[in-house]
Structure 1
Amino acid sequence: MKRFRRRYYDLFSHLYDKIIALHSQDKRALLRELLVEKTGLKPGGSLIDLCTGTGAVAITASKVAGKEGLVIGVDFSLGMLKKAHQKAKTIKATNLYFVLADVARLPFADKSFDAVTCSHAMYELDPLTREAALKEAYRVLKPGGCFAMMEHCEPKHPFIRLLYYIRLASMGSTENRTFARDERPFLARYFEDVKLEVTPTGGSKIIRGIKK
């Protein structure tokens, strides 16, 4: 199953950015800036972006972290990471790295990052992988660090909403559908001060919590 999903995302990498922009109503890609801002990342800080896809959030974070900072994007799809590398070359970042890895088993030390992000991906993970990924996010965060994720809101347009429901149904697991509707109880298992806010476009929501 994991091999099939990896192959799917390798192929999907060619359309990924356009689909995300359409669904999130964020054609100018301002939401990735908002997501990084919500983590509280500062110049010289460190951030890991889970399920980084084509690297949009990681690239944005690298600009905030600056030359003294460190940003790592992690994904299990080589196709996605190839796209991310291509995009990263245009900004010539020296603080940005992309790693092929499983988000359920991150190859990083405990308490090593100031922030962890995940954009439009967590709801697609199977329940066991998602639980492990949240646990790993908690593990690699420094005390006081922020975990912030962005997901799609339920679409208002009837046809797009129908497609959204079909997508949720295709996940199979009832827990996946429950997670997509309200992520806060799941994050609250690991993080404190969990908050949810709808983005200015209305197409996405940001959920974040703090490691105490």
Structure 2
Amino acid sequence: MKRWRRKYYDIFSHFYDKIISLHSGDKRAFLRELLIKKTGLKPGGSLLDLCTGTGAVAITASRVAGKDGLVVGVDFSKGMLRKACEKAQKLKTKNLYFVLSDVARLPFADESFDAVTCSHAMYELDPATRNAALKEAWRVLKPGGCFTMMEHCEPKHPFIRLLYYIRLASMGSPENRKFARDETPFLARIFRNVSKEITPTGGSKIILGTKD
């Protein structure tokens, strides 16, 4: 099953950026900047981006972290990471690294990062993997660090809403559909001060929690 999903995302990497832009309503990368702002990342800080895809969030974070900072993007799809690396090479980014990894078993030490992010991906993980990924996010966060994720709201456009419902139906697990509709109870099992807000575009929501 995991091998099939990996192959699916390798192929999907060629269309990923356009689909995310259409669904989230974010044509100018405003949401990526907002997501990073919510993490509290400062110049010289460190950030880990889970399910980084083609690296859009990680690249935005690398600009905030600056030359003395560190940003790492992880994904289990070689196709996605290939696209991410191509982008980073064009920008000649020095503080950004991409790692092939299962988000349920991260290859990083405890309390390694100031912030952890995940954008438009957590709801697609199977329940066991998602729960493990959230626990791993908590583990690698430094005390006082923030886990910040962004997910799709239910689309207003009829056609896109239909695609969204089909995607939810394809998930199979009722827990996945429950997570997509309200993520806060799931994060509250692990993180403190969990909150949610709708982004100005209306197409996405940001959910965050902190580590004591």
Residues in 1 aligned to 2:124 and 2:84: alpha-carbon distance in whole angstroms = 20
- 1:166 deviates by 1.2
* Contiguous gaps of at least 5 residues in structure 2: none
The answer to whether 1:189 aligns with 2:189 is yes
- 1:29 deviates by 1.2
Deviations 1:103-150 (A, max 9, x none): 000000001100000000000000000000000000000000000000
Residues in 2 aligned to 1:189 and 1:44: alpha-carbon distance in whole angstroms = 30
Alignment match, 2:127: 127
Residues in 2 aligned to 1:44 and 1:158: alpha-carbon distance in whole angstroms = 44
- 1:159 deviates by 2.4
Alignment match, 1:99: 99
Alignment match, 1:169: 169
1:180 partner letter: A
* Contiguous gaps of at least 5 residues in structure 1: none
Alignment match, 1:111: 111
Residues in 2 aligned to 1:144 and 1:87: alpha-carbon distance in whole angstroms = 31
Alignment match, 1:152: 152
Residues in 2 aligned to 1:121 and 1:153: alpha-carbon distance in whole angstroms = 13
Residues in 2 aligned to 1:158 and 1:67: alpha-carbon distance in whole angstroms = 44
1:94 partner letter: K
Q: TM-score, normalised by structure 1?
A: 0.99
Residues in 2 aligned to 1:204 and 1:114: alpha-carbon distance in whole angstroms = 24
Alignment match, 1:19: 19
Residues in 1 aligned to 2:78 and 2:92: alpha-carbon distance in whole angstroms = 20
Residues in 1 aligned to 2:30 and 2:86: alpha-carbon distance in whole angstroms = 20
- 1:92 deviates by 1.0
Residues in 1 aligned to 2:101 and 2:17: alpha-carbon distance in whole angstroms = 21
Alignment match, 2:204: 204
Deviations 1:77-118 (A, max 9, x none): 000000000001122111100000000000000011000000
Residues in 2 aligned to 1:21 and 1:39: alpha-carbon distance in whole angstroms = 21
2:5 partner letter: R
Deviations 1:19-38 (A, max 9, x none): 00000000111100100010
**3-state DSSP of counterpart to 2:196:** strand
1:27 partner letter: K
Runs of 4+ in 1 over 3 A off after TM superposition: none
Alignment match, 2:64: 64
Residues in 2 aligned to 1:65 and 1:189: alpha-carbon distance in whole angstroms = 29
- 1:41 deviates by 0.2
Residues in 2 aligned to 1:15 and 1:84: alpha-carbon distance in whole angstroms = 13
Identical amino acids, percent of aligned pairs? 81
1:78 partner letter: K
Alignment match, 1:73: 73
Q: TM-score, normalised by structure 2?
A: 0.99
- 1:151 deviates by 0.4
